[in-house]
Amino acid sequence: MIQKRFHLLLVLILLVVFKAPAYSSSDCTEPIPELFQRVSRAVVSISALALEPNKISGRIGMVSGSGFIIDKEGLVLTNSHVVVERQAISLTLDDGRKAEVKLLGADPIFDIALLRIKAPDSLPFVTLGDSDSVRIGEEAIAIGNPFGLEQTLTRGVISGINRVLPGSSLMIPPFIQTDASINPGNSGGPLMNRCGEVIGINTSILADAQNIGFAIPINAAKKIIPELIRQGRVIRPWLGFSGKPVEKELMEIINLPLVEGFLIETVDSGSPAQKAGLQGGELSVMIGGAEYLLGGDIITAFNGHPIKDSETVQKILASVKVGDKISLTVFNKKKFREVEMTLSERPILPGDIPNSSRGTLQPTKGTVRFIF
């Protein structure tokens, strides 16, 4: 318990220390080979056995990824899909030593996991930068173990920021996009600025594309590290439905009784939403390349506050916590009604469990789907 509290205190100190520097990354002129020699010492290789019991054959495979040490005591950040629900996790340091590893906590939603390793002496560690200060066009450097090729460096630029991809939940923080080559095995490794500060955790690539990779902003990881140390998970409220905002353009196209708000498409079994009697959709339609499931309830107000756009939905999600009692104004079949529910903790849902292809995103079209 004392050691756990010590690590929590240490991480809180790190979060204060690793603020945005007073200079920009363009001020850093350290030669790339020297930067690599300095930072790569803190990048580790991770491998584990992946078991997929529902397969008839080929149930067991090997998963490989990367990670990076964030303090001298041996805390390591990586992707959740690299280590969660895996067997025989193995971690190799830059100098070739195998280190005993323990999974401290993981958050499948953000795809972030925190490990702790034991080593006989003090460990090298990276500096965490400020992902909020990243600008498009800045240099980006990735170090990892693509296809088992240990300590591979790739270089490019920041291609985009605040990337919310169609088909993904807005519970996931917006990605940083880079054209620095990311491949299977890079998952969990650091994306750095020109100063060698970590600005993101490399997590996925776009299938069939060239040099379109994505990283989780490091500031998102900073926010949940204390929770992962303290309780091994991130506690989130669970409403238990998913869907999309109903916008004016959709109302103008569809000749159905619609109002502005949030369209419920699916309701999770056993969720607060199901217990409160909320209804999902039943009519699938394709509009402008986006698929909608119509016929479900439309939430027009949350605790009396009108829902008009996706930004409102994001703010609502951030404002509630487990145990809160909320009221919803719901429209369906030309009638309004009031619904009340008490929020429980969000469980790990089937879509959260990692699989061997978690690091590859399929290109999709359409609007973003919200999952509560």
Would you put residue 185 in left (φ > 0), alpha (ψ -120 to 50) or beta? left
- How many CA atoms within 13 Å lie on the side-chain side of 11? 23
- Cβ neighbours of residue 150 closer than 8 Å, sequence gap 6 or more: 45, 92
Helices and strands (H and E) in the chain: how many: 7, 25
Which residues fall within 8 angstroms of residue 14, CB to CB, at 6 or more apart?
Answer: 70, 71, 128
Catalytic residues: 81, 111, 187
339: CB partners within 8 A, 6+ apart: 276, 277, 278, 327, 328, 329, 330
Contacts of 132 (CB under 8 A, 6+ apart): 20, 217, 219
What does residue 101 show for φ and ψ, rounded to 5 degrees? -130, 145
The residue type at 218: I
d(Cα 270, Cα 362) in Å, to the nearest integer?
Answer: 30
Task: State how far the Cα of 372 lies from the Cα of 364, in Å rounded to an integer.
Answer: 21
